[in-house]
Amino acid sequence: MTTLAIIGGSGAYDLFGADILRQPVETKEILTPFGAAQTIRKYSAEGLSFYFLSRHGDDGYKVSAPFVNYRANIWALKELGVERIISWSGPGIINPSFDVGSYAVPNDIIDQTRNRANTFFTKGGLGFIRMSNPFCGDLRHALIYSLASLGLKTFDEAVYVCAEGPRLETPAEIRLFHSYGADIVGMTLAPEAFLARELEMCYAPVCYLVNFAEGIAPREYRRGELFEGMQTNEEKTAVEIAARRLPEVAINAFKAIADVSRTCECKDAMLRYRKKGVISDDFRAWINP
């Protein structure tokens, strides 16, 4: 059985602790070469064991997307032997055929971030790896199966554009992203997905769709509300319902794939360098070969 992990987005710890599992099996604080990772907890449920990390912290939205220590989080999961990661996030909608409160399983990504540490390989000339499939195909299929088996409305393909944040995007930026072919816009999947691939870990996201991006649907500006009024009351309720299903979606996907051997390209991302003798099998040595 492969070692599994979930990276949760905004409010993830409260959602997981309150609705799914009361007590973790163990809790780990891991210091990496890139600083301290977020607290990692191990859970057991429905015959599975898996790790869980709350991307933005355990107490509300303490660390906004541009300032998450993505390298420390991914490195810490690798230290624990994790091979497959399901990530969840709540992006906005660019493609008007998508619905608020539904789900998407992205198959591609456009990185529009500017100031993030986006690679482990700042030394040694490593990391020149192909990104034809930036998300693990096998893990994506498990998520699509999970969502379908639960009867949840899902868009099986979507192009996710990752903005820098923490501010939301302007209408002109959304028009630009639309011209790129993006369907949804968020702030968290880059560089997370790329870092996981650098360490040969399978990574796939599931997104619950929280609002229409600026200019896609008319929304009155409302002071002092979440996103200043970019959600209607009906949409807010639909999003809350969708978010509560995320742990179930992830666990269901893990049940489908936990005993399946990894045959995807993710596990061999750095094989070329190993074959040349540039790196060993010890990933810890890769950052300073």
Convert the pLDDT of each residue in 82-121 to its tens digit.
999 999 999 999 999 999 999 999 999 999 999 999 999 9
pLDDT tens for residues 190-230? 999 999 999 999 999 999 999 999 999 988 888 887 787 78
Domain ranges of the chain: 4-285
Residue pLDDT tens, the chain, 289 long: 679 999 997 666 666 655 555 677 889 999 999 999 999 999 887 789 999 999 998 877 789 999 999 999 999 999 999 999 999 999 999 999 999 999 999 999 999 999 999 999 998 899 999 999 999 999 999 999 999 999 999 999 999 999 999 999 999 999 999 999 999 999 999 999 999 999 999 999 999 999 999 999 988 888 887 787 788 999 999 999 999 999 999 999 999 999 999 999 999 999 999 999 999 999 999 997 5
The residues facing 86 across adjacent strands are: 6, 204
What pTM value is reported for the model? 0.95
Q: Which of 57, 51, 58, 56 is closest to 5 using CA atoms? A: 51
Q: In the prediction, which pLDDT does 288 show?
A: 74
Q: How many CA atoms lie within 13 A of 138 on its CB side?
A: 18
Are 172 and 95 in contact by the 8 Å Cβ rule? The answer is no
In three-state secondary structure terms, 19 is helix
Q: Does the 4-285 domain belong in CATH 3.40.50.1580? A: yes
**DSSP E strand stretches across the chain:** 4-8, 26-28, 31-32, 35-36, 40-45, 48-54, 84-89, 92-93, 103-104, 108-111, 154-155, 159-162, 184-186, 202-208, 211-212
Pairing of strands 159-162, 108-111: parallel
Return all residues near 76 (Cβ < 8 A) that are at least 6 apart: 28, 30, 32, 37, 40, 53
